[in-house]
Amino acid sequence: MKKKYNWSVILGAAFLMASSAIGPGFLTQTAVFTEQLGASFAFVILLSIVLDAIAQLNVWRIIAVADKPAQDIANTVFPGLGYFISFLVFLGGLAFNIGNIAGAGLGLNVLFGITVQQGAMISAVLAIGIFIYKEAGKAMDVFAKTMGLLKIGLALFIAYISNPPLAEAAIRSVNPTQFSFTAVLTIVGGTVGGYITFSGAHRLLDARQTGIENLSAVNKGALSAIGLASIMRLLLFIAALGVISTGAKLDPSNPAASVFQLASGQFGYKIFGLVIWAAGISSVVGSAYTSISFIKSFHPLILKYHKHIIIVFILVSCFIFILIGKPIKILLAVGALNGLILPIALGIMLVAAYRTKIISNYKQPLWLTITGVAVVITMIWMGYGTIIQMFGPQ
């Protein structure tokens, strides 16, 4: 019997994944690589969208059909593998969350002049409030949609004002003059790497929007999530390109803020504050929710108290940030780290797609398997290229 889709939940899952991706690191990465590669960054974005969509479709479909979280699927593929993946994702999620808290704090600092640390504490309290609320799932869906639309609307405004060379960007999207392994690895890692691709899929699990009969809705949710994140990436790219094409230099201490400020002066700087706050706090919610979803099936007590553990996770992230300060470089590094986690996680999902005890009588489309394997190989190759670029002879 066909299930009735809950489109509010499907869209909420899409926005949760997109909001998890569009964090402070996302803004920083886009500005940095646009300055490095210029219009040729359009090719990197186009390539990353294709890789993102293939990875996301594979992961969401297999989790929906198996009706289990990723860590339980991994443990069924090979005993202990789920614990290893959970450790990587949890660690990556915590590192990202420190950056997310920092970004939210910086946003309130720009908007209201309070210290970044004070802004971080206020943002942490607001994020915790979502999980304290009795209908936390619904609150999270509404919050993710609102913050996602706000970020896209403000980025569209700045992209319009910056007057970018769209024709050159269109040409370079298929005929680049520059290329960077690190850029592709970091951008893909920052969009679907680590915990991010699992955030929406695990939300669908919690809302019981699973099973073979729901796959068309799962597909729409997965592609909508990639579409939302990609629209934001493209808007930030063309905004940054418009600024850079005038010969302006971005401030290395805060490249994303420079884009908004150079495009629209002090008003643009205030818009940046609102965008990075929305990006930071929505990513705090997505990162905390998904990181804990990777451990809550391991013990009944974790499942029972998972909301309390999410709150502790947010508080610990905030405390670490207050101790160590704003980690701009960590935001770039963790994006690359998440890109290295992706081929492991996706590889496990592809193996699971052919284990009947996991997926029963479901048949994974051959084109998805082939393209999924291609993404795994590509990401391993890109990861090797990045390591060589970073540590090889200069």
**pLDDT of 102 higher than 70:** yes
Asked if 80 and 315 count as a contact pair (C-beta separation under 8 A), the reply is no
Does residue 328 lie in a domain region? yes
Taking the C-alpha atoms of residue 164 and residue 262, their distance in angstroms, rounded to an integer, is 13
Q: Does residue 234 belong to any structural domain of this protein?
A: yes
305-337 per-position pLDDT tens digit: 888 999 999 999 999 888 876 555 665 666 666
The domain that holds 275 is classified in CATH as: 1.20.1740.10
Domain that holds residue 186: 7-391
pLDDT more than 70, % of the chain: 92
Look at the chain and report how many structural domains it folds into. Answer: 1
Considering only residues 295 and 325, tell me which one the structure prediction assigns the higher pLDDT.
295
- Asked if 140 contacts 16 with a C-beta cutoff of 8 angstroms, the reply is yes
Dihedral, CA of residue 93, residue 52, residue 30 and residue 323, to nearest 10: 0
Does residue 157 fall inside a structural domain? yes
The answer, yes or no, to whether residue 27 has pLDDT greater than 60, is yes
Among 290, 360, 359, which residue's Cα sits nearest to residue 140? 290
Q: Which of 209, 301, 185, 302 is nearest to 16 (CA)?
A: 209
Contacts of 364 by beta carbon, 8 Å cutoff, 6+ apart: 61, 62, 353, 354
Q: Is 211 helix (H, G, I), strand (E, B) or coil?
A: coil
Q: Is residue 1 part of a domain?
A: no
Residue spans of beta strands (DSSP E) within 7-148: none
The answer to whether position 165 is within a domain reads: yes
Alpha-carbon gap, residue 232 to 116, rounded angstroms: 25
- Region 213-239 average pLDDT: 90
Could you say which DSSP state residue 177 is in?
S
In this structure, is residue 374 part of a structural domain? yes
Question: Which CA distances in Å does 56 have to 2, 49, 194, 201?
Answer: 23, 10, 12, 9
In a domain, 2, yes or no: no
pLDDT of residue 337: 67
In this structure, the number of other CB atoms found within 10 A of the CB of residue 36 comes to 14
The per-type count for the chain, helices as H runs and strands as E runs, is 17, 0
Q: Are 226 and 379 in contact (CB under 8 A)?
A: no
**What is the reported pLDDT for 1?**
43
Percent with pLDDT over 90 in the chain? 35
Banded pLDDT at 144 (limits 50, 70, 90) = confident
Give me the sign of the Cα torsion angle 103, 107, 108, 113.
positive
In a domain, residue 296? The reply is yes
DSSP string of 250-319, one letter each residue: --TTSHHHHHHHHHHHHHHHHHHHHHHHHHHHHHHHHHHHHHHHTTTTS-HHHHHTHHHHHHHHHHHHHH
The larger pLDDT score, comparing residue 242 to residue 182, is at 242
> Is residue 209 scored above 70 in pLDDT?
yes
SS (H, E, C) 30-68: HHHHHHHHHHHHHHHHHHHHHHHHHHHHHHHHHHHHHCC
